[in-house]
Amino acid sequence: MQGPGGGRRPPPVRQGSGASSGSQRRASILSGIYANKAASCRSPSTTSDGKAVDRASLVGNKYATRVFDDEGKDVTPRPLFRSDPNTVVPRQGKLLASSAYFGATGSGFLSSFSMHQTSGVNGSLGSFSRTYGSSSSSLSNASTTESVLDEIRKRSHLLTSYNFSDVQVRQEEIKEWTKEDLDRRVDIYLTETETIWILDMPSVVVSVESEDAGRVLERNRIYVDICKNRPGNDRFVEKMMQTINGAAKNKEVQCDKIIMEDKGMLVTSWDLYDSFNVSEIEPVSKAEGSRATTGKSSSTTSSLMISESAVLARIHEEEECHSEAILTSENFQQNLFFMERILMENIFQPKLAAYRQFPVLIVKEAEQEEHDKEKKDKEEQKNAFVDPSILSDLNKTPEEIVPPRLERLWSYICDLTNGHSVSSMAWSKVNPDLLAVGYGAFDCKEQKKGLACCWSLKNPMWPERIFRCEHGVTALDFSMASPNLLAVGMYDGSVTIYNVQSCNDAALLDSSESSNKHTGPVWQMRWVEQDRSATGDGKKERLICISADGRITEWFIQKRLDCIDLMKINRTESEKKKLPGEKERKREALISRLAPGMCFDFHPKDTNFYLAGTEEGHIHKCSCSCNEQFLETYRGHKGPVYKVAWNPFSTDMFLSCSADWSIILWHQDSQTPILTFSSSTAFVHDVMWSPKSACIFAAVNESRVEIWDLSASILNPVTSCFANPRVKFTSVLIAKNTDCLLVGDSKGEVSVFELQNLAAPNNNKVRFTRTRWWSSEACMLVWYFIPPKGASVKDLANRY
C-alpha cells in the first residue's frame, strides 16, 4: 500500500492536493514512528469530537511531539522519515483524515500507516489524534500519554498549515542530538487500541401504541418507497470515487535466524500395529540404551529407526560387553545353526535332491560339455545330475533295461569320527532323516573310547549330537515309544540311555549300578514293541539285548536300569558224526556253558518269537514265554552268525550272515538252509532286507557292499560297490523313505549310496518251493509268486 511511503517521495497524484501531502508527511513523521495495529488503523478517523490535533500547533512548538517517560527523559522516537528539504511542501489546506489503513500488509511495520486524503472533508484530525492517541497509548508510560493528550486538547483548532520550515526545524533539532541520544535504546510497544466506533446508529424500536407510532410507520413507508424507487430514478445517481491508497513502506527487521526443521515419516502398517501393541506390551528396557528412540519409549522397530543413522558414541568396554552378549545369546546360536544348515544345503544340494528322489535339473554348461567329452563328464555329472539323454532313452525304449547301480552321494564324516569304526547304525523312529551311528573299535583287541553320534540329513558335515562313551559302542537303537531315547550298548557290556533332545553329553540312565548287567560286549540291542495281550495294556516297549556272555536280557527303565534274563544260550553240542573208530572223547572243558550270542531278531508279526544267532554258528528260535529251551535250532553256518533278519514281507523266511563268507536264506520250518549266497571270500558283517521289496537285500562284507535281488538272480548280486582298499565295510542300513543305502566302514565314514534303476518294488509274498536242484553250478529254484488280485499268473510268468 502506498501509504506514507508515497508521501515520502511526493507522488504525482498527490501534488495536486498539495497540502495533504505535506500533512501526510507530517503525519508520517509522527505516526510513522509509532506502530499502529490494524485495528486502530482501520478506523477512519472521522471524529468530530473536536480533538483536532493541531499539528501545526504542535509543530509550532518547534518541536515535534515529544514523549517523556517517568523520569522525564526524553524518549521521543525519532522519525523514520527524513523528508527531503528540497521538495516543496505544499500547503495543506484541509486535513487528512488519516485513515489509517495501515498495513494491510500486516507486516506490523511502523511505517505502515497511510494517510489518505478525503476531499474536502472536515477531515478530522481525529485521525491524528487517533493515531496519535493510539500511538501514544503505545507508549510505555501512561502519564506521558496523558500529558500529551492534554496538550492536544488544549490546542483544539484545526490544522492550518504546515510549514516546511517546521520540518527544517525538526531536522535541525535532530542534529542537536548527541550520539548517546541516537544510540539510546528505544523500546517500542505495540498494543491494540480500543474499538473506535465510526457510526453508531442503534435502531430504535417504538411501540405500536405510542404516539409516535404513526409517524414512525409513515417514515418507514417512505423509506421503503425510496428504496424501491431508487433504481432507475433520476434522483439517485451512482457515483464512483477513487480513493487513493497511501504508499506502503517496508520496514526490515533483523532477527536471529528461525531454525526450521523438517521431519518426515513414512507410516507403514506394521508401524501402526507395533505402536498399537506397545501400549499393551510392557516396554523392554534396554540396559545399554542403545537405540535413541525419539519420543517413543520402547518400540525399537518403529520406522524411525530406519531413518536414523544410529551411531552412538560408546565407551569401548561397553561395546565389548555388548558384543559378548550378542555372541552368547540364544538367538545368535540358533541363527548360526540355521546358517550352517543352509550352507550345507547349498553345498550338498544336488546330492540331497538325489536322495530325496527329485528330478534334478541340468545346468546349461554341463550340456555343452557333454557333447564334447561325453564319457568323462558323464561320470561327474552322474554324481549330481540325471542325464536327460538316459531319461529320454528310457522313455523311448522301455525294453532296454538299465542295470541297477549304486551311486555314491556323500558320506557322513567328520574329524571326530576319524579313526573309529562304525559298529552300528539306526534310524530314528519318528524322523526319517535322523540317524544314530555308533563308533567303536574294529579290532577287538584295541579298545578305546567310543562315540555315538546323531547325524541329520541336513548337515552331513557335523553331527547334531555327540555322545562320548567310555567304551566302544557296539550296538544302538532308538526307542519307538519315546523317540528321544537312544539306547547304546557298549563293549564292556554296559547299557546307557541318552536323551537326544538335550545337547549335553550326560547319559540319562546307566546300567553301571545294575548287578545283573552283561559281562561281555552287547552285540545287539533293540527296542521291541510287544503285545501284552494278556494284561491288555496294549503295546509296550521293551529293551532287549544280547551279549557275548550268552544271555538275552530285558531291561527295565525304572529309577535305574535293571535287567532280567530272557534266555540263556546254552551251548549245544555240535552233532559231529563220530568217526568210526574214534574213541569217545572226553567232553571238552568249557569255560562257560553259555554260548556267546551275536545277534537276534524278533518276528515281525508275532513278537513272542525271536531268533538268536550265536558264535557257534547256530541260530536258535526262542520264545519269550519259555526261557529254558529253544524252540528250534538251525544249523548251517560254520562260523559266528553276525546277523539274522526276518523278511518283512514273507515272514517265514529269514536271512543270516556269518563269518564263514556266506549268507543263508532259511525258512522257519526247515532246519536246513534254503539258499546259500556266497559271492566272496570275506566275512559278511551285515545284511538287511529292503523295507520296500520282498526280494531285495543288502549285504556287506569286508571289501564290498552287495545288493541282491532274488527275483533277478540268486547266484550273484545285481550290483555291488567296492570299498576303498584300506577300508572295510562293517555295517549297512537301508533307508525307509528313499532308495538309499548307508554303509559304515572301519574308518568311521558312513557313505550314502543311491540305488538306481532297481526293479520296481513289489512286496508280494515270495513263496519258495521245496524243489530244487543241489547243483553247485546251476542252483535253480522254481518259485512262484502269489499273484496279486487282478493279475494273472500268466502275466507274471511273462514278466520273468
Partner 1 sequence: MAEVEETLKRIQAHRGVVATIVVNAEGIPIRTTLDNSTTVQYAGLLHQLTMKARSTVRDIDPQNDLTFLRIRSKKHEIMVAPDKEYLLIVIQNPCE
Would you tell me which residues interact with partner 1 (CB under 8 A)?
A: 268-270, 272-274, 290-291, 300-301, 303, 305-306, 310-312, 319, 322-324, 326-329, 331-333, 335-340, 342-344, 346-347, 349-350, 363, 384, 461-462
Tell the smallest beta-carbon distance from residue 363 to partner 1 (Å): 8
Q: Which three cell numbers stand for residue 227?
A: 428504496
In the chain, what are the helix, strand and coil shares in percent, each to the nearest 5? 25, 25, 50
Q: Which three cell numbers stand for residue 434?
A: 535322523
Contact 754, 354 (CB under 8 A): yes
**Residue whose CB is less far from partner 1, 349 or 392:** 349
Tell the smallest beta-carbon distance from residue 455 to partner 1 (Å): 15
Tell the smallest beta-carbon distance from residue 256 to partner 1 (Å): 35
Tell the smallest beta-carbon distance from residue 305 to partner 1 (Å): 8
**Residue whose CB is less far from partner 1, 152 or 384:** 384
Tell the smallest beta-carbon distance from residue 369 to partner 1 (Å): 12
CA distance 618 to 658: 10
Q: How many residues does the chain have?
A: 800
**Residue whose CB is less far from partner 1, 362 or 796:** 362
3 state SS of 689:
strand
**Residue whose CB is less far from partner 1, 306 or 797:** 306
Tell the smallest beta-carbon distance from residue 327 to partner 1 (Å): 6
User: Judging by beta carbons within 10 Å of its beta carbon (0-12, 13-18, 19+), is residue 107 exposed, middle or buried?
Assistant: middle
Tell the smallest beta-carbon distance from residue 306 to partner 1 (Å): 5
**Residue whose CB is less far from partner 1, 8 or 351:** 351
CA distance 599 to 640: 10
Tell the smallest beta-carbon distance from residue 543 to partner 1 (Å): 31
**Residue whose CB is less far from partner 1, 341 or 605:** 341
Phi, psi of 399 (to 5 degrees): -75, -30
Q: What is the DSSP string of 76-130?
A: PPPPS----TTS------S-EEPP----TT-S--TT----EE-TT----THHHHH
Contact 632, 621 (CB under 8 A): yes
Using only the alpha carbons of the chain, give its radius of gyration: 58
Phi, psi of 748 (to 5 degrees): 90, 10
**Residue whose CB is less far from partner 1, 412 or 708:** 412
Terminal Cα-to-Cα distance of the chain (whole angstroms): 115
**Residue whose CB is less far from partner 1, 49 or 320:** 320
Tell the smallest beta-carbon distance from residue 183 to partner 1 (Å): 55
**Residue whose CB is less far from partner 1, 382 or 635:** 382
CA distance 176 to 311: 63
Q: Which three cell numbers stand for residue 560?
A: 535305574
- The 10 Å Cβ neighbour count of residue 450 is 24
Q: Which three cell numbers stand for residue 132?
A: 496519535
Tell the smallest beta-carbon distance from residue 415 to partner 1 (Å): 10
Q: Which three cell numbers stand for residue 288?
A: 545399554
CA distance 770 to 766: 13
Contact 97, 129 (CB under 8 A): no
**Residue whose CB is less far from partner 1, 285 or 346:** 346
**Residue whose CB is less far from partner 1, 84 or 319:** 319
- The 10 Å Cβ neighbour count of residue 25 is 28
Tell the smallest beta-carbon distance from residue 282 to partner 1 (Å): 16
**Residue whose CB is less far from partner 1, 220 or 268:** 268
Tell the smallest beta-carbon distance from residue 419 to partner 1 (Å): 19
**Residue whose CB is less far from partner 1, 337 or 784:** 337
CA distance 25 to 81: 8
The residue with cell 532286507 is 689
Strand ranges for 430-579 from DSSP E: 434-440, 450-456, 465-469, 473-478, 485-490, 495-499, 509-510, 522-532, 538-547, 551-557, 561-568
Q: Three-state secondary structure along 584-618?
A: CCCCCCCCCCECCEEEEEECCCCCCEEEEEECCCE
Tell the smallest beta-carbon distance from residue 414 to partner 1 (Å): 9
**Residue whose CB is less far from partner 1, 56 or 344:** 344
CA distance 618 to 637: 7
Tell the smallest beta-carbon distance from residue 461 to partner 1 (Å): 7
Q: Which three cell numbers stand for residue 641?
A: 552268525
Tell the smallest beta-carbon distance from residue 269 to partner 1 (Å): 5
**Residue whose CB is less far from partner 1, 308 or 513:** 308
Q: Which three cell numbers stand for residue 139?
A: 507508549
Contact 545, 525 (CB under 8 A): yes
